[in-house]
Structure 1
Amino acid sequence: MMSCFNLKTWLLSLVFLSYLLSLSHGIPNKEFRVRAVNLGGWLVTEGWIKPSLFDGIPNKDFLLWRLNENSFRFRVFNNQFVGLDGINVVAVSSVSTDSEKFHFVKEGGNSSLVRIKSSNGYFIQAKTEDLVTADVSEVNGWGEDDPTIFVLTITSRFQGEFQVTNGYGPRKAPQVMKKHWRTFIVKEDFKFIASNGLNAVRIPVGWWIASDPTPPSPYVEGSLNALDNAFLWAQEYGLKIIIDLHAAPGSQNGYEHSSSRDGSQDWGKTDQNIQQTLHVIDFLTARYANSPSLYAIELLNEPRAPGATIENLTKYYKAGYEAVRRHSHTAYVVLSTRLGTSNSREILPIASGLNRSVIDVHYYNLFEPQLNNITVQQNIDFILTNRSSQLNSVTTSNGPLTFVGEWVAEWQIEGAMQKDYEAFAKAQLDVYRRATFGWAYWTFKNIRNHWSLEWMIKNGYIKL
């Protein structure tokens, strides 16, 4: 049996650079609010964006795309971008172009006041409650009643490698990421892993790794070299590696750990998108097929239903399996179950026809709403009863192997003592070691102690 764990989003990112903006315009008692994720995220409007402007649907969320330090595009519902119809500010196109670019002009210093200049060179203004226009050429001062002035405040954040590299920009991002790769996971960590009886690492990677050293903007060079180092260290200490495609082009789940640009989920919507993902699998398998440390390729981490349909996933998993087999007949092929569905057996028919295939399930009590505000013992009982049953349901005598690819000894309990965490972790280990392929802890290093397997081992919370 294989005991695995995960090296945090190592080849994605751990460095969070986040901004969330809030804007309000100068018309008294009216409000225009923008929440921007890392200068590239959610945009919410109230007040002057009226139903008549956006197909009768009021107060819908926007997605704010950061292009550089002060330039943005606004994407609204139905994936349309805000642009100009003459001088009127409207949702105009499903394709992002320069004509939908807006520029933030700040008052200066530490002021929170900004103006928004449109692609036509004019400033936008809230002309009436029903009309927003880009027709102001001359502005003077920063008076409170000027309808071209907006107030900007930081309110929240969005994470992920796209946000980090896009947020820092092309000059600073390479420095930040290279320092991260050089210092966060090092050779001594692999020595620690092996000396504690663990025998494998599950390493998440992003799709842009196949284009290194010239990945598409805003990603930067270096992730492939980091993975190469991991293989060298793994071989030295006798460890195996599971390469996990954690971020697919377009994002397979819309979450920051899949490097979503703005929270949208676009993976699998086109054949081109799927073919691009297959190219990544082909590239990674070909590169490491002859390494004695390559143990498995995970085709896709946590695709989310209903956006990632079972039809598209079936098509991709079968093609991904063939891509791996072109280069290796021994590497296991790992198929992740979908988020957002209770039917973890739905990919059994796919995996059952594939040699050396593995079904990956992820178990987090922390994210189960029904487990909030229950006792320590109730959490443990849920592991021993419910998780055991769930794992048994995907484990078959002659079928694919099973892998608890992510779990963590953390929960929604205030004031839990170390002995409580020890019991919770032990219960999970007792159940998850029954998985016929093994388990992986999320994660090896983390700023939150209980999410860090290294910290949990060093402090006696987890005993292997």
Structure 2
Amino acid sequence: MLTSSADAGVLGRGRLPLLFLLLLVCSSCWLLPRCDARRTLAAAGAPATPIRAVNLGGWLLTEGWILPSLFDGIPNNDLLDGTQLQFKSVTQNKYLVADQGGGAAILADRVQASGWETFKLWRIDETTFNFRVFGNQFVGVNSTGGVVATATVPGPSETFQLVRRDSDKSRVRIRAPNGLFLQAKTMESVTADHSEDTDWGDDDPSVFVTNNVARLQGEYQICNGYGIAQATQVLRNHWSTYITENDFSFIASSGLNAVRIPVGWWIASDPNPPLPFVGGSLQALDNAFSWAEKYNLGVIVDLHAAPGSQNPYEHSATRDGSQEWGNSDANIAQTVRVIDFLANRYANSPSLLAIELLNEPWAPGATLPSLKKYYKNGYKAVRRHTSTAYVIMSNRLSISDPTELLQFAGGFSGAVLDVHYYNLFDSKFNSLTVDQNIDFVRNNRSADLAAVTNQNGRPLTFVGEWVAEWAVQGASMTDYQRFAQAQQDVYGRATFGWAYWTLKNVNNHWSMQWMIQNGYITLKN
């Protein structure tokens, strides 16, 4: 519509405040931290900018393989909780065995050792232990001096001392609660009645040769290994020095826009968590949020270790590889309370990008009904405090159908499905060449990701862990660059984004910091 010049002047003056207001609003949005701008889209769909994150593994949740030196000061640090030992009698030349896997006598009649012949340590102190058998019973001594595995809870009768030979640590004697030593009198008779005397010879029925077949180096092991006083000192020093503000500056300047931070369930009880865990990690997580806000990074808080342990690995803080998470409503409710604590504490931070309800639940121990029940209640706990943070639900490990959670997760606004892709941990990768590994990513992994990606964007997809490492021997720098780039290309199609495992690691290719600084990984803008 045409107007006179006078009308135009009036309208122009009338529009100036409105125009000024619009400019102010737009400029305010522009000045918002990038992480806050992403948060506002949780209910609407995918982040405005795809997430390119790095995991801060080995920081607030211990994984010994990431930084083995953390365990150096523990006496007898090869005998931590969960260490699996096999004992071979030097006189019988046979292995000790929990008959029937447990619930019966201990014998010494096995030529070869497997599950029934393997004993898991529960560490009391550096020389004193309980021995847990295949069926989860504990080795003990009965009223007649016989050695059995019948107790479901360890007590004084199930507490033993391992005495190692000074010149050969694999050669041991086992002191029973009665002060005498176990001996293999015959293949069918293991008793606790041998005297103190020994010359450690092959004719002594109280001498056994140990085979250390597996170990765990997680949060439980480091805390119980050091004891509360020293563990507090060691871990608080680690938390304050391993990841610092300088690392957040590096992450932001390298082209990444978020961090995924693994935590353990006991953080909700900080500063006085249940034994053997120690307090102090909550302050470190608070620091991480402050640094993230300063450098415009999003934070994904990842419940990596749940009460009872959701998988048998050290990063779930299991004591001995047992998996007991989700076995009861009380356990699920306890886990939901941890999520509620985290959501409540960080809901108002502009850097809270997402809360991951659980990392890598293992099938079949973590059943699908239990997991869905927990995810539903965990989602509600997050939404009680924030409508903008994404809620991440991890796929189960060891399943045949990676789409089993797709429809379920798609029913929740702002939900994200997390999948982890490694060209490792499976024998099929052992013989692949450089080009075959890259082709596997571009073809098989691409198809895997497409299978869990709905066209409607619900749920979003997140490759929460990947690494530019493989089983290839003698690969060149160019080979690694091609492998890393192939994964960035494919995982960049995930509708939420990806996160590299991990920022720092003594194994160079597992360290994104090292890979970036040495030119193996380039992050394109």
Q: Distance in 2 between matches of 1:58 and 1:126?
A: 20
Structure 1, 400-409 or 214-223: larger mean CA deviation = 214-223
Q: Larger radius of gyration, structure 1 or 2?
A: 2
What are the equivalent positions in structure 2 for 1:201-350 lying under 5 Å apart? 201-350=259-408
Q: 2:121 is matched with which residue: 61, 64, 82? A: 64
Structure 1, 109-118 or 223-232: larger mean CA deviation = 109-118
User: 2:466 — aligned with what?
Assistant: 407
The question of whether the paired residues in 2 share the 8 Å contact of 1:337 and 1:360 is answered with yes
The question of whether the paired residues in 1 share the 8 Å contact of 2:305 and 2:315 is answered with yes
Q: 1:94 is matched with which residue: 146, 152, 166? A: 152
User: 1:387 — aligned with what?
Assistant: 445
Write out per-residue CA displacement over residues 260-309 of structure 1, whole angstroms, 9 at most, x where no aligned residue: 21122111112222122111111111111111111100000001111111
SS in 1 for 2:359: coil
Write out per-residue CA displacement over residues 215-243 of structure 1, whole angstroms, 9 at most, x where no aligned residue: 22222222111111111111111111000
Write out per-residue CA displacement over residues 181-226 of structure 1, whole angstroms, 9 at most, x where no aligned residue: 1211111000001111211100000111111111222222221111
Deviation at 1:105, TM superposition (A): 3.6
Q: 1:362 is matched with which residue: 420, 439, 455? A: 420
Structure 1, 302-311 or 57-66: larger mean CA deviation = 57-66
Structure 1, 120-129 or 234-243: larger mean CA deviation = 120-129
2:119 counterpart letter in structure 1: F
Q: 2:501 is matched with which residue: 430, 437, 442? A: 442
User: 1:187 — aligned with what?
Assistant: 245
User: 1:172 — aligned with what?
Assistant: 230
User: 2:188 — aligned with what?
Assistant: 130
Deviation at 1:143, TM superposition (A): 4.4
1:27 counterpart letter in structure 2: T
Q: Does residue 83 of the first structure (1) align with residue 140 of the second (2)?
A: yes
Distance 1:376 1:83, change over 3 A: same
Q: Does residue 419 of the first structure (1) align with residue 478 of the second (2)?
A: yes
Q: Distance in 1 between matches of 2:363 and 2:214?
A: 26
1:77 counterpart letter in structure 2: F
2:476 counterpart letter in structure 1: M
Q: Distance in 2 between matches of 1:58 and 1:78?
A: 10
Deviation at 1:111, TM superposition (A): 6.1
Q: Distance in 2 between matches of 1:366 and 1:392?
A: 21
User: 2:4 — aligned with what?
Assistant: none
The question of whether the paired residues in 2 share the 8 Å contact of 1:104 and 1:115 is answered with yes
Structure 1, 214-223 or 162-171: larger mean CA deviation = 162-171
2:509 counterpart letter in structure 1: H
User: 1:38 — aligned with what?
Assistant: none
Deviation at 1:59, TM superposition (A): 4.0
Q: Distance in 1 between matches of 2:229 and 2:61?
A: 19
2:339 counterpart letter in structure 1: I
State percent identity of aligned pairs: 57
User: 1:377 — aligned with what?
Assistant: 435
1:4 counterpart letter in structure 2: A
Deviation at 1:3, TM superposition (A): 1.2
The alignment's TM-score, normalised by the length of structure 1, stands at 0.90
Name structure 1 gaps, 5 residues minimum. 35-42, 52-56
Deviation at 1:349, TM superposition (A): 2.1
Q: Does residue 27 of the first structure (1) align with residue 84 of the second (2)?
A: no
The question of whether the paired residues in 1 share the 8 Å contact of 2:416 and 2:460 is answered with yes
User: 2:52 — aligned with what?
Assistant: 3
User: 2:491 — aligned with what?
Assistant: 432
Name structure 2 gaps, 5 residues minimum. 1-49, 72-76, 80-84
Number of aligned residues? 447
Q: Does residue 115 of the first structure (1) align with residue 187 of the second (2)?
A: no
User: 2:3 — aligned with what?
Assistant: none
SS in 2 for 1:367: coil
Distance 1:385 1:242, change over 3 A: same
User: 1:12 — aligned with what?
Assistant: 61
1:194 counterpart letter in structure 2: A
Q: Distance in 2 between matches of 1:92 and 1:129?
A: 19
